[in-house]
Amino acid sequence: MKNKVLFFLLLGILAGAQTNRFFYEYKFIPDSGNKEDVKKEMMLLDINKNGSAYYSHDKFVADSTSNADLMKQISSGSGSLNINKREKPGQVSYKVTKSYPDFSTYLFTNISTDRYKIKEDKKPEWKILPDKQKIGEYNTQKAVTSYGGREWTAWFSSDIPFQDGPYKFYGLPGLVVKIEDATGSHIMTLVGNKKINSPAEDKESALPENIRIPGLGGKEFEITKDQYKKAWKAYINDPTKNMREMMMKNGGESNTKVAFKMKTADGKELSDPNQVFREMEKRVKESLQKNNNPIEPDLLK
């Protein structure tokens, strides 16, 4: 009886303007050489009749706050922006969207100040197995796939009538409740859901396209996977190129002066552009060394 109620509830959501938000606990190991360091992030999968969006809750909140602050500075007419480069909540920076009914899938991510929209050209090919187990309150069945350079095991529930799931996973006869790669480096588990009136990310206030901040605002470039791989390699070779170009343009056509500030690990504040760029390059290289275990290795080859 409970499953029937859930079924008709979700059908009602699809028929109306509401969105069903699924909460996934994402556990991941950024550094393959340090498997004891397991990170956690609460991810959201918003599903409505048009499609779905998968993104980090903490990053959305942090970006919304930063956008509001920058928009306030812009509207004040002071002619300058104070951009404090600091660590912010949200460890997962990408977003994945799928449109129904064809499940066209896009990965939204950024490299430095550039934002990219990458169309997925492959779909998960599943092998459904007879194994079943109960995960939380959900009755699930096992399926496996090879995707993005990893071997994955999924547990899906036909009680939830969405052929969707976290990240780029979809196509099973029910919602993916849990999925884990063979190394145990990436695990996404459904922990709850609720109805909302509209997806929160639709309310994000956009920055002007000439204001280019890493991970915030700006224009999205739609590119292929191969083009993204080239952009990634160029970034690794010269991590601060985009930031230097933005400083040289002095804020672009708006003639807005952009001031960079950054604090070192010992709390020293840097304001000189050359010092800031050196510190940024140092941090990028350190970050790449510690984040060598991405969810989709094939995308960064």
Tens-place pLDDT, residues 113-169:
889 999 999 999 999 999 999 999 999 999 999 999 999 999 999 999 999 999 999
Average pLDDT along the chain: 81
Structure tokens, 25? 């606990």
Q: What is the pTM (predicted TM-score) of this model?
A: 0.77
Which tens digits make up the pLDDT trace of 200-239?
444 444 444 444 444 445 568 999 999 999 999 999 888 8
Q: Band the pLDDT of 248: cuts 50, 70, 90.
A: low
21: confidence class by pLDDT, cuts 50, 70, 90 = very high
Would you list the domain boundaries of the chain?
2-78+92-224
Residue 8's pLDDT is: 40
pLDDT at 53 over 60: yes
pLDDT at 4 over 70: no
* pLDDT tens, position by position, 262-293: 677 667 777 677 777 787 888 888 888 899 99
Length, in residues, of the chain: 301
Of 53, 164, 60, nearest in space to 117 by CA: 53
The predicted structure's pLDDT at residue 229? 95
The pLDDT assigned to 271 comes to: 67
In percent, the amount of the chain with pLDDT more than 70 equals 70
Q: Domain 2-78+92-224 belongs to what topology?
A: outer membrane lipoprotein receptor (LolB), chain A (2.50.20)
